[in-house]
Amino acid sequence: MDDLAIVILAAGKGTRMKSDLPKVLHKVAGKSMVVHVLACARKLTRDNIHLVIGPQAQLVKQEVSQYFLVNFVIQTSLLGTGDAVKHALPELAPTIKDVLVLCGDVPLIQEDTLRALLTTHRTTNAKLTVLAVNMENPTGYGRIIRDSSGDMTSIREESDATRKEKQITTINTGIYCFDKTFLEEAIGLIRPDNNQAEFYLTDMVQIARSKREKISVRLMADPWQVVGVNSPNDLERVEALIQQIENELS
């Protein structure tokens, strides 16, 4: 897909991992998490992949360069996902139509899921499409907020959610598809008006809504694909999931 760019967010320190190693370099099934994500991304496009990295950037470059040729984008200050994507935008080719945003710490994501997300995005002529999933235990994830008509109005991070909002089980996976022109025009409107004082990419939903732009949601069926890794326990869980999948396929 020559008109698709993929931006992978991999700048987080991962302080809860209790390790000096950058979070995305922790290994699952023998390979760093970010390498799993990149392998999936390259099934969609080979030449338009941008990896946003931060602290200990050289370590990430050394690891990734053993496997893939990608464009590295340095996020000098870790000011949130919106800021990370903003850093990558100047690197995108003029021919790019859509931008797929992935997470470097979600190593189980599959090609078919990303293709389905992109199909929904393009067939609905959306400016922004969010990949969502229903999860029995949504703790720690941003919730998909809808109005009385069922249309998505916003994504509420757990730290900012009300008690009622925390009961919502449809969660944001952190994976999005944007119309490039809309993304370039609107990303500067994000403000750090939240408990973390960061630029949340999730705020793009409210920005799109305020501009009366088309927003789509792709609800996926397999929550295991989007299990993120934020702690050693999460890493063990993902490792167990991979072993379970391999056993089922064998």
For 78-91, how does the pLDDT look when each residue is reduced to its tens digit (9 = 90+)? 899 999 999 999 99
| Residue 88 pLDDT | 97
User: Region 87-101: what's the mean pLDDT?
Assistant: 97
Global pTM exceeds 0.85: yes
User: Which residues are designated catalytic?
Assistant: 16
Give yes or no for a contact between 11 and 51, defined as CB atoms under 8 angstroms apart: no
CATH class of the structural domain 4-249: alpha beta
The percentage of the chain sitting over the pLDDT mark of 90, rounded to a whole number, equals: 72
Give yes or no for a contact between 175 and 54, defined as CB atoms under 8 angstroms apart: no
What is the domain partition of the chain in residue ranges?
A: 4-249
Give yes or no for a contact between 106 and 235, defined as CB atoms under 8 angstroms apart: no
The C-alpha atoms of residue 99 and residue 126 are separated, in whole angstroms, by: 12
User: Region 143-168: what's the mean pLDDT?
Assistant: 91
Q: Write the burial class of residue 87 (CB in 10 Å: 0-12 exposed, 13-18 middle, 19+ buried).
A: buried
Q: Which amino acid is present at 188?
A: G
Is residue 247 predicted with pLDDT exceeding 90?
no
Is residue 151 predicted with pLDDT exceeding 70?
yes
Helix axes 33-41, 57-65, angle to 10 degrees: 50
